[in-house]
Chain A
C-alpha cells in the first residue's frame, strides 16, 4: 500500500473523510492550546506594531543615535533557549512511561537553560541601557516592550517548571497516567521558545537586511 494512487483512493473513502480528527484530547490540553493561541496573537500584534512603526519611520532604522543591534549575544541566547525544549520533551516522554527520574532531570536541565537565557538577557540589557532606554524614542519603547514581555514569559515558564519540579520531588504527584500538568507546561514552554525565534528575526535580523 505504498503507491500514491492507493493512498488517495483509501483516503477519499467516506470512512476516511469522516475520520474523527482531532479526538481524545483532554480539557486541559484544549485550554492550554487556546491560551497559547491568544498569547500568540498578542505577540503577532506586538511584532506587527514593530513593523508598522519601522516602515512608517523612514529609511534609517534604528533611528539616528542607536546602533543596529549586535548579533553575537542574541545568537548565543538562541543557542541556549531553543534547545531547552529538548530536555522538556525527553522529560515528558519519560513520565508517560512512569520514569520519574527522567521527569526530574529533564525539568532541571530545561530550567538551567532558561535561567542562563535570562541571565544573558540581563547582561544585554545592562549594555543597551547605557545606549538607550524605553523613553529614548519609539524604537527604544518597542525594543524593551517586546524583549521584556518575552523575558516575562520565560520567567513565567520557569516558574511553571520550578513548580512542576517541586511537585515531582514529592511522590504521588505524577505518574504514567497522570501527567496533564507536565504536558501543558511543556506546550507553554515550546511556545515561548518559538516566539523567541520570531523575535530574533524581527528585532535582531531584519535591521540588517
Chain B
C-alpha cells in the first residue's frame, strides 16, 4: 500500500500560490462568505445534527408523557405539535441535509476535484437550509408549529379543520427548504458529471458518489410533486382556492397522490446515500472492494427509477380498479430484488474480506441487523388483511423506526466515526465509541421492539395518552426507558466528537488504509484539496500504485493549476481532460439571497404582502448582480465564460 504523504512533486512556490488563491484568512466576513465545500459540508453536518437533537428532544418529551397511562406532562395540543415536528424535522431537516452534508464534504474529494461545480450555489443552499429549519422550529415556542402529522393529509389540514398558522408554517417551510434541496441536487449531479479527475470513467466512480447522484436525480424528479402539493395547500388555506375541497370540484385524494409520488422515492432519497456510506466504509474494514461493483451500481440505478412506480401501494384503501393496482404492485415486488442485491453484496464482502472490527464497522453491522428486521416487518404489510389490522397502530411506528434508524441513522453514525479523522484531522477514542454503539443499539431495540407488541395489542399511534390496558402500560414504560438509553448513547457520540476535536490525537492522512481519493489528501484537507489533481487508473485509486504515482513523481504542471483558483473539467462519461476552469471566489451574495428569501417566506406567513413584494425585488436584484457577466477579453487562456 503506497504511503500518502501528499505532494512531494509540487514545488513550494506552487504550494504558496495555491494557498494564496484558495485559503480564506479567518475573519467574520470570511465566515459568512465562504464557498469552500468542506466548510459548507461541515456546517450541513452540524446544523442537521442540531435539528436532530431538537427532534430527538421532542421524542423524549413524548416518551416521558407516554411512560405511564393518563400522564399530564404535555397537553394534547402540544403533543400534536411535538409528534408532527418530530417527524417533519427528522425526515426533512435531519436525514436529507445530513446526507447532503456528507456528500458536500466528500464528493469533490472522492472524485479528485477542488470544489463543487457551483460553489456559490452550494453556500446559498446551506443558508436556505439553515433559515428554513429555523423558520419551522421557531414556530414551536409560539404554539404555532405544524400539528397534523408529517404527511399532512387533506382535508384535516384545511383552514376549517386546522385554523391558525400551524399548517401554513408546514407548507411554506417545506417550500422554502425545497429550494435548498433542489439546488444541492443539481450541484451534485453536475459536479459528478464534469469535475471528476482525469481517468475516472463511469466504471471507476466510487459507489458513494453513484448513490449521491442517484439520490440527486430522485430529488429532481420527486420534489416538484411535494412543492406543488404544498403550494396548493397554502393557496387553499390562505386564498380560498378549492384544490382539495370536494364540495367545489376538488379532491382530497389529490393531496395523497402527489404526496406519495414524492413520498415513496423520498424513502430511498433518505436511505440511498446512507447505503452509499455503507459501501464506502466496508472496503476499509474488510480490506477488499465491495463484491459485484456493477451489480451494486445496477441496484442503485434500478431502485432510483423503480421507486417512482410504486407510490400507489401507500393508498391500499382508495378504491382503484384491481388491474391498474396490479401494475404498481408488480413494480413494488420487483424493487425488492435490487434492494436484496445490495445486502447480499455487503454480506459477501464481509465473508470474503478480513474484518477489522472498529466502531464504524460495528455500526455497519448494527445497520444490517436492524434494517433487515425492519424490512421483514415491511413485507408483513403486503398481506392486505394484516395491513388493515395494524394500520395507524404502533406496529407501523415500530416498523419505520427500524427502517429509518437502521437504514439511515446507523450508517450516518458509521460515517461520522469513519470520516471524523478526515473532517477534523483528529482521531476519536475507540473505547468511548464502542460504549456509544452498544448503548445506541440496545436503546434502539428496547425502545422500538415493544412497539410491535403494543401495536398488535391495539394501541393507536399519535395519541397523547391512553387508559390503562392489559399489555400496554408495562411495555410503554420499557419503550420510555429504552429511549433514554438511546439518548445517552447519542450523547456519548457527541461527547466523543467534541473530545476528538479538542484533545484527539492528530490523524494521519489515511488512518484506515481506505480505497477512495479522500484518503490521499491531508487530514483535514488543504483548502485546495489536492496539490496535484490525481490521474485515476482504477476503481480503488488510493490502493493503486499508478494513481499514487500520478500525484508523486509523475505529477505534471497541467494538473497543478496553481496560477489561479482553478480546477479541471473532464468529459461526462470517460473523464477525458477538457479544460481548466476558474472557480468563483467567496461572496456574501448567497447569504443575502437566502436572507431575502427568509424575509419573503416570513412575510407570506404573517400576511405582510407588501413586505413580501419588497423581498421578491431584493431576490431579483441579488440574482441579477450575482450572475452579471464580468468584463473580460473574449478569450482568456485556460478560462471559460
Direct contact of A and B (CB under 8 A): yes
B-contacting residues of A (Cβ < 8 Å)?
20-28, 30-31, 34-35, 37-39, 41-42, 44-46, 49, 52-53, 56-57, 63, 98, 134-142, 145, 159, 163, 167, 170-181
A37 to B219, CA, bound (A): 11
From the candidates A44, A138, A171, A175, name the one contacting B242 in the complex (CB within 8 A).
A138
What are 23 contact pairs spanning A and B, CB under 8 A? A20-B571, A20-B576, A22-B573, A23-B571, A23-B576, A31-B118, A34-B185, A38-B220, A39-B224, A45-B228, A46-B228, A49-B228, A53-B249, A135-B240, A141-B235, A141-B241, A141-B250, A171-B631, A172-B631, A177-B635, A178-B634, A178-B641, A179-B641
Cross-chain contact A134 with B228 (CB below 8 angstroms) = no
Q: Which residues of B have CB within 8 Å of A63?
A: 249
Cross-chain contact A98 with B634 (CB below 8 angstroms) = yes
Q: Which residues of A have CB within 8 Å of B574?
A: 20, 23
Q: Which residues of A have CB within 8 Å of B578?
A: 24
Q: Which residues of A have CB within 8 Å of B121?
A: 31
Cross-chain contact A53 with B251 (CB below 8 angstroms) = yes
Question: Which 10 pairs of residues, A with B, have the shortest CB-CB distance?
Answer: A175-B634, A138-B249, A42-B224, A141-B241, A178-B641, A172-B631, A180-B641, A138-B250, A137-B248, A41-B224
A148 to B117, CA, bound (A): 33
* A contact face: mostly helix, strand, loop, or mixed: helix
Cross-chain contact B240 with A53 (CB below 8 angstroms) = no
A-contacting residues of B (Cβ < 8 Å)?
117-118, 121, 182, 185-187, 189-190, 193-195, 220-221, 223-225, 227-228, 232, 235, 239-243, 245, 248-251, 254, 257-258, 261, 569, 571-574, 576, 578, 581, 620, 624, 627-629, 631-635, 640-641
Q: How far is the CB of A36 from chain B (nearest CB, A)?
A: 10
Cross-chain contact A173 with B220 (CB below 8 angstroms) = no
The total number of A-B Cβ pairs within 8 Å is: 152
Q: Which residues of A have CB within 8 Å of B189?
A: 30, 34
From the candidates B254, B581, B634, name the one contacting A49 in the complex (CB within 8 A).
B254
Q: Which residues of A have CB within 8 Å of B225?
A: 41, 45
Which residue of B is nearest A180, CB measured?
A: B641
Q: Which residues of B have CB within 8 Å of A39?
A: 224
Cross-chain contact B641 with A31 (CB below 8 angstroms) = no
Q: Which residues of B have CB within 8 Å of A137?
A: 242, 248-249
Q: How far is the CB of B128 from chain A (nearest CB, A)?
A: 15
A25 to B251, CA, bound (A): 44
A22 to B261, CA, bound (A): 29
Which residue of B is nearest A35, CB measured?
A: B186
Q: Which residues of A have CB within 8 Å of B245?
A: 138
Q: How far is the CB of B71 from chain A (nearest CB, A)?
A: 43
- Residue with the greatest number of chain B CB neighbours at <10 A, chosen from A30, A34, A142: A34
Q: A30-B194, A41-B221, A56-B251 are in contact. Are A174 and B241 (CB under 8 A)?
A: no
From the candidates A25, A38, A46, A175, name the one contacting B221 in the complex (CB within 8 A).
A38
Q: Which residues of A have CB within 8 Å of B571?
A: 20, 23-24
* Extra A-B contacts (12), CB below 8 Å, given A46-B228, A141-B250, A178-B632: A26-B641, A31-B121, A37-B221, A44-B224, A53-B251, A53-B254, A57-B249, A134-B235, A138-B249, A138-B251, A163-B624, A181-B627
Q: Which residues of A have CB within 8 Å of B186?
A: 31, 34-35, 38
Q: Which residues of B have CB within 8 Å of A56?
A: 251
A28 to B569, CA, bound (A): 12
Q: A24-B578, A49-B243, A141-B241 are in contact. Are A30 and B190 (CB under 8 A)?
A: yes
Q: Which residues of B have CB within 8 Å of A52?
A: 251, 254, 257
Cross-chain contact B248 with A138 (CB below 8 angstroms) = yes
Which residue of B is nearest A179, CB measured?
A: B641
Cross-chain contact B190 with A141 (CB below 8 angstroms) = no
Q: How far is the CB of B637 from chain A (nearest CB, A)?
A: 11
A137 to B193, CA, bound (A): 46
Cross-chain contact B627 with A159 (CB below 8 angstroms) = no
A142 to B121, CA, bound (A): 33
Q: How far is the CB of B552 from chain A (nearest CB, A)?
A: 29
Which residue of B is nearest A20, CB measured?
A: B573
Q: Which residues of B have CB within 8 Å of A46?
A: 228
Cross-chain contact A172 with B190 (CB below 8 angstroms) = no
Q: Which residues of B have CB within 8 Å of A37?
A: 220-221
Which residue of A is nearest B624, CB measured?
A: A163
Which residue of B is nearest A49, CB measured?
A: B254
Q: Which residues of A have CB within 8 Å of B224?
A: 38-39, 41-42, 44-45
Which residue of A is nearest B189, CB measured?
A: A34
A144 to B581, CA, bound (A): 44
Q: Which residues of B have CB within 8 Å of A180?
A: 640-641
Q: Which residues of B have CB within 8 Å of A49?
A: 228, 232, 243, 254, 258
Q: Which residues of A have CB within 8 Å of B572?
A: 20, 22-23, 25
Q: How far is the CB of B24 from chain A (nearest CB, A)?
A: 22
Cross-chain contact B257 with A30 (CB below 8 angstroms) = no
A39 to B629, CA, bound (A): 25
A120 to B312, CA, bound (A): 41
Cross-chain contact A23 with B573 (CB below 8 angstroms) = yes
A24 to B186, CA, bound (A): 18
From the candidates A24, A45, A174, name the one contacting B629 in the complex (CB within 8 A).
A174
Q: How far is the CB of A56 from chain B (nearest CB, A)?
A: 5
Q: Which residues of B have CB within 8 Å of A142?
A: 243
Q: Which residues of A have CB within 8 Å of B239?
A: 134-135
Cross-chain contact B641 with A177 (CB below 8 angstroms) = yes
Which residue of B is nearest A22, CB measured?
A: B572
A27 to B576, CA, bound (A): 15
A178 to B635, CA, bound (A): 8
